[in-house]
Chain A
Amino acid sequence: MNDVVSLFQLLLVVVALVLGLYNWFYYVQAHRATSNLGIGFPGIVNRMLVINIILPAITVGFLLISLVLF
């Protein structure tokens, strides 16, 4: 039973990693697009883009720690 939970948590780790990577590329592309257009993002959108990278990283860290400890 614990194996099933661990496998599920590993799946969540993979999903979070993919999401984090996607958001990283998205951040780069979004900034490239705005610099091409000559317009900058307002502060709140910039923060949202950064949080989109940080949050999956926190998720991965939390899942890995819980996998190791519990």
Chain B
Amino acid sequence: MGEKNGQLKEYEVKKFLTLVGEKLVIATRRHWFVLATPIIVILAGGATLLLISLALSLLTPLFAKTTFFISSLLLITSITLSFTTKAVVDWYCHLYIVTTRKILEVCHAPLTSSKINEVHLDKVRCTEVDIKVNSPVDEFLDIGDVIVTFDRPTHQEEFIFQGIKDPKTVGLFLSDILDGAQDAVTPSQWYKSKEKPRGLQFIEEIFPRYTAGGGAI
């Protein structure tokens, strides 16, 4: 699965496999197409600035020098390339990693921001896995969001895999994985009663973990 839908190999994300018995499930970036919009905007901005400088050097006698045009051409190219590189690097350093023990979002924007969002699967309960495709273009290119909702003891939290490739398969796969992860976590931490150890079996049969009200006794 990781090799089919993810763009990262296991050895690339080995650093994030820190827990005992942890195995990589999915490691992916956002689809490369999400870069298209910012790059088109940046290039359009650069082209506009270039046209302005060309018009200035052709129409205004004050700036009617070849050196002015060449220097502004160099500078505008530098600025455009800098913004383009920033967009590419930000995309490259934004990773989604799913292992058998946790879900991780790593987002580094050098000189700007850094974010690591880690959810330990044995500490939360997954209540929903939603798949969202936002536009016909996304549908055509098979890009979309997978939204995983976790029910934490104090609040609900959403973990969003934004703009990933093949969201339907990833969503269904995540659903299976999270189901498996919760099966692995015995419901004893929620239901076990020291006074009535036999009562546990009875409650499990009547109220499986997906009942409304969170299976409170």
Chain A interfacial positions (CB closer than 8 Å to B): 1, 4-5, 8-9, 12, 15-16, 19-20, 22-23, 25-26, 29-30, 32-34, 36-39, 41-42, 45, 48-49, 51-52, 55-56, 58-59, 62-63, 66, 70
- A27 nearest CB across to chain B (Å): 9
- Given A30-B89, A37-B93, A37-B95, A1 and B81 contact (CB-CB distance below 8 Å): no
- A31 nearest CB across to chain B (Å): 9
- Chain B residues with CB under 8 Å of A33's CB are 93, 108, 110, 114
Q: Assess the A63–B71 pair: CB atoms within 8 A.
A: yes
- Chain B residues with CB under 8 Å of A30's CB are 89, 93, 110
Bound: A45/B65 CA distance, A:
34
Q: Assess the B70–A62 pair: CB atoms within 8 A.
A: yes
Q: Assess the A25–B85 pair: CB atoms within 8 A.
A: no
- Chain B residues with CB under 8 Å of A22's CB are 82, 111
Q: Assess the A4–B62 pair: CB atoms within 8 A.
A: yes
Q: Assess the A37–B75 pair: CB atoms within 8 A.
A: no
B 8-23 binary contact with A (CB < 8 Å = 1; else 0): 1000111110000000
Q: Let me know if B67 is at the binding interface, CB within 8 A.
A: yes
In the complex, the chain A residue whose C-beta lies closest to that of B108 is: A33
Bound: A49/B84 CA distance, A:
10
Bound: A63/B93 CA distance, A:
35
Bound: A62/B66 CA distance, A:
12
- Chain A residues with CB under 8 Å of B191's CB are none
Q: Assess the A25–B62 pair: CB atoms within 8 A.
A: no
B 79-98 binary contact with A (CB < 8 Å = 1; else 0): 10110111011001101000
In the complex, the chain A residue whose C-beta lies closest to that of B85 is: A48
Q: Assess the B81–A48 pair: CB atoms within 8 A.
A: yes
In the complex, the chain B residue whose C-beta lies closest to that of A25 is: B111
